[in-house]
Amino acid sequence: MSILSSRSVAEKCLKCPTFRAGKCAGTIATTRRLATDAVPLTRKNKKEGDISSVFTSCSGQKAEPLPERFRDLKSQVTVGFEEQIQKSWDDLVEVLKVRTEEVATKRESTIPQVQFSDIQANTVPSASIEGVRRTGVAVIRGVMPKDSTEALLKDVRGYLSKHAFKGFPSDTDKKVVYESYWSPSQVKARSHPNMLATQTWMNQFYTAGADQKTNIKKWQDYSPWDLTGRLDANMNMYDGPGGCSVFRTFQGWLGLSRHGPQQGTLVVHPILQPSTAYWMLRPFFKPTRKGSLDGWKFSLDDDDGNVFLHGANPGTAQEHNPDHHPHLRLSETMIPYPTVEPGDTVFWSADTIHGTENNNTGDMDACVFYIPSVPLTPNNAHYVAQQRDAFLQGIPPPDFPGGSGESEFSDRGTTKDILSDSGRLAMGLSPLNTSQATREKESLVSEVNKILDLNIYFKFKSLAEMPSFSMRAGAASRLEMYNAQLEDV
């Protein structure tokens, strides 16, 4: 979980030519990875870095043609179906004409808003539920009390000013994204029972176990809410800096300050199913007339004979822009969220194209904590076990740029900052209750408890005995704090 304090995209990406040229309409994180084998306590630390290293356009890298194996792959999944795929594309383009016009016209009103009190009472209107399914995004109002949320912001400002944090951009005094993960405020926000209840409600939009009918010949069969095929997918094949080994159903954040349109807020493309189908089919088509959105034809290659997946580069996040994805009308359909208050949350499907506004015309920073929604799966439990180790040590979690992080900060968040029993459970510090599990979920709960194996944290009496601590600079000085936290567990 990083901290974002957004003044403007221009400030956040000062040296990014894509932003300066006005061609970066948003990015989408599709580099999630799910491990298929048990994850040991030891881990391969990622290089130190910041959020700019996640994107090709902001990291100084150049998008190169893909290796020939991608041409072979494109051929393998389409051979014999070329005519059906062409028909599917033509139909999809017509649907996008209608949906993009709707979003461009209705703007922020297309984004569903839900009251947390309705989630608690199980009285969320059916129209709001359908709106989330259709758009992939939501604003949840009143998840945390306003006064306590503002107190979290005050405390984290003091924490950030006290310590020298890495962040982006690195060459200015006014950082926008801070690589902080374990401030007391963040631990409290993540473990707040209302936040966890909201994430649970959001996770229920997804289903698993049904037969997946999706095929490349018929985009309408694609369901963005079907987990089948995602659960075992390797979404971090290249171990990139932005690779996500934990499976997120939604990305999200908690608003810490009041902000809205034209104030550096998040922008999203709220057209989930057809737009996702579009950018998956896009690499198989090219225009027949320059500048025309009609008459595109099936092709495995670009005009120059090279192979591209339009915005996808190994090891970095998928990026979208009007040149590569013109049918999405991104300059008109990247919509800012409506004004949020401290304590409101925002969620968007992990497949949703998203970015940040170019300008902040407000008087204050738009401050948020990034907190995604993560479902219970065996592979996610492996990640939580590693994240728990990172939390107790004060180092960055496994999916984020490495380094010593906050390990030397005596005022960082500890187990004493976890606000609820459900928070301890989510952090892997308490076992799941098998007696409350349904028969269908009982085996999953037992498997997860075995993966978490809380007893392992009491087996090591010295740093030398714990593999993940070996060779860490200054590790001995942290043993006392580590053991104190274990006593609190």
417-449 pLDDT per residue, tens = 999 999 999 999 999 888 777 777 888 899 999
Burial environment of residue 188 by CB neighbours within 10 A (0 to 12, 13 to 18, 19 or more):
buried
Contact 6, 356 (CB under 8 A): yes
Dihedral over alpha carbons 333, 335, 253, 310 (to 10 degrees):
20
**How much of the chain exceeds pLDDT 90, in percent?**
46
Domains (range + CATH), the chain: 3-29+47-374 (2.60.120.330)
pLDDT at 470: 39
> How far is it, in rounded angstroms, from Cα 476 to Cα 482?
10
Q: Is the pLDDT of residue 84 over 90?
A: yes
55 confidence band (pLDDT: 50, 70, 90): low
User: Hey, how many other C-beta atoms are within 10 angstroms of the C-beta on 167?
Assistant: 21
Strands of 102-206, DSSP E:
113-115, 137-141, 167-168, 177-178
Compare 400 and 52 and report the one with higher pLDDT: 400
Q: What average pLDDT does range 202-214 have in this prediction? A: 77
In terms of Cα–Cα distance, which of 243, 221, 414, 262 is closest to 317?
Answer: 243
- One-letter identity of residue 354: H
Q: What pTM value is reported for the model?
A: 0.81
CA angle 111, 115, 118 (to 5 degrees): 125
484 confidence band (pLDDT: 50, 70, 90): low
Burial environment of residue 469 by CB neighbours within 10 A (0 to 12, 13 to 18, 19 or more):
buried
**How much of the chain exceeds pLDDT 70, in percent?**
74
Q: Is the pLDDT of residue 8 over 50?
A: no
In terms of Cα–Cα distance, which of 306, 241, 332, 326 is closest to 63?
Answer: 306
Tokens of 291: 């500048």
pLDDT digits (tens, 9 = 90+) for 267-324: 999 999 999 999 989 989 999 988 899 999 998 877 666 777 776 777 667 788 888 8
Compare 413 and 36 and report the one with higher pLDDT: 413
DSSP symbols for 459-470:
S--SGGGSGGGT
Contacts of 375 (CB under 8 A, 6+ apart): 203, 206, 227, 247, 249
> How far is it, in rounded angstroms, from Cα 350 to Cα 243?
13
Least confident of 30-44, 128-142, 183-197, 341-355: 30-44
Compare 459 and 149 and report the one with higher pLDDT: 149
DSSP symbols for 312-331:
--TTS-EEE-TTT-GGG-HH
482 confidence band (pLDDT: 50, 70, 90): low
Q: Is the pLDDT of residue 66 over 50?
A: yes
pLDDT at 235: 72
Task: Give the number of residues written for the chain.
Answer: 489
